[in-house]
Copies of this chain bind each other. A is one copy, B any other.
């Protein structure tokens, strides 16, 4: 048996930390808050990245790369932006053996260094829209780091766009939010709530921040992607102006949007169980683990021959791993692949070879099935599809079971104190003081103001005055 992991049902944070390390997704490093992403974790990231990159390009964006070091003076040009990010910055003060004349900040996000360049590139409406994206590493100093979820250094993509009109920029903001929603649901099998952030939770420098918000298995919310409508805030700070179709000088309208290696944390927390990870087939680094069984040399040889054929048949179509490690028993390997969240396991022993069949086991349901060799390829494809769908359905059901509509403050306080606090759907008057009161009393915040609003609002959950908006409260990562 592989070493035991902590049970999710007993200690969620302990489970998370142990599974990330036992499954060899990531490890702590010598530098507080920074992580080492191991091959299995990085392969998961590459699968997410490849598909997201395709979606970003299909919506007309091109990849670029801007410098990681940003002169401090640039950060200061947008007042809200520097206020929000300066406390989290790492600062290079020495380089090339000497003290720098001007300190350089390691990018906590790239609006500033990109806009100072856009001001050079953009002259006329003909230069618009600018639709660019970069894959990069980011540093934001973290006091309470947690692997993948909050690390001082993380990997992400950041899209930055500039447009002629406000409307175009707003449409872009929502288009990319929709790309993120589809990605989370189709690839990660994680249903997400979408909508706007309240002012207190929005990006430093944005006019509006929109987000996708998942609910993970301890009943907490996890922000999994954000899309910002920046208005003309950065364009004014960096003088990004263009000659309009009417010949007037105007400031560009902008957006920025990003998802990060935090998505890996979302996948782990949205699907895992007491036995370990449970990875959606579309992003799993290994989709099918093949475990050969056999005692005598003759048995092992017969099985190995059949396994070679299976690898030949399926290897080009699915991500398949044959586990021929000699030092472990089949039972140990079953548990190991279960812990690593591989969607399907194929068991094949001498009897299976004789009967021209293999045993197919699903990670999500534990369902075991003997499949005739002739039908194996179809069965594997069907089962991978079925697992992908089942994971989404399970996560959706979980979210529905853990979303409550409440209009009573005491009931909400009680609900948010439960083991699985979940989402609370309720009304809010729009006053930041009410939001703050809920946070103080319950540690929950407004995660998202959904796009779908009712025709009429009830009373504000906190102050009892007329509500302005339906909101989702939750405790969050």
Contact = CB atoms under 8 A, between A and B. Distances in A.
Given A93-B91, A95-B90, A66 B126 contact: no
Contacts of A30: 67, 70-71, 74, 113, 116-117
Nearest to A96: B141
A198 to B, nearest CB: 26
B94 A91 contact: yes
B92 A69 contact: no
A240 B198 CA distance: 51
Contacts of A62: 39, 42-43
A37 interface: yes
Given A36-B117, A74-B30, A95 B65 contact: no
A378 interface: no
A132 interface: yes
Nearest to A100: B90
Interface string A143-177: 10000000011010000000000000000000000
Contacts of A139: 68-69, 95
A216 to B, nearest CB: 23
B93 A89 contact: no
Given A36-B66, A39-B132, A69-B153, A29 B93 contact: no
A65 B90 contact: no
Nearest to A326: B126
Nearest to A45: B65
User: Max chain B CB contacts within 10 Å: which of A30, A39, A46?
Assistant: A30
A44 to B, nearest CB: 11
Contacts of A186: none
A104 B31 contact: yes
A63 B43 contact: yes
Contacts of A93: 91-94
User: Max chain B CB contacts within 10 Å: which of A67, A70, A327?
Assistant: A67
Contacts of A34: 67-69
Contacts of A64: 36-39, 42
A97 interface: yes
A90 B92 contact: yes
A209 B58 CA distance: 42
Interface in A304-332: 327
A143 B96 contact: yes
Contact of A90 (B29, B69, B88, B327): B69
A38 to B, nearest CB: 6
Given A36-B67, A89-B95, A94-B103, 12 more contacts: A27-B120, A30-B70, A30-B113, A30-B116, A38-B64, A39-B63, A42-B63, A43-B63, A46-B63, A87-B97, A92-B106, A97-B141
22 contacts: A30-B116, A30-B117, A34-B67, A34-B68, A34-B69, A35-B67, A36-B65, A37-B65, A37-B66, A39-B62, A42-B63, A43-B63, A68-B137, A69-B152, A87-B96, A90-B94, A90-B104, A91-B94, A91-B95, A92-B93, A93-B93, A126-B327
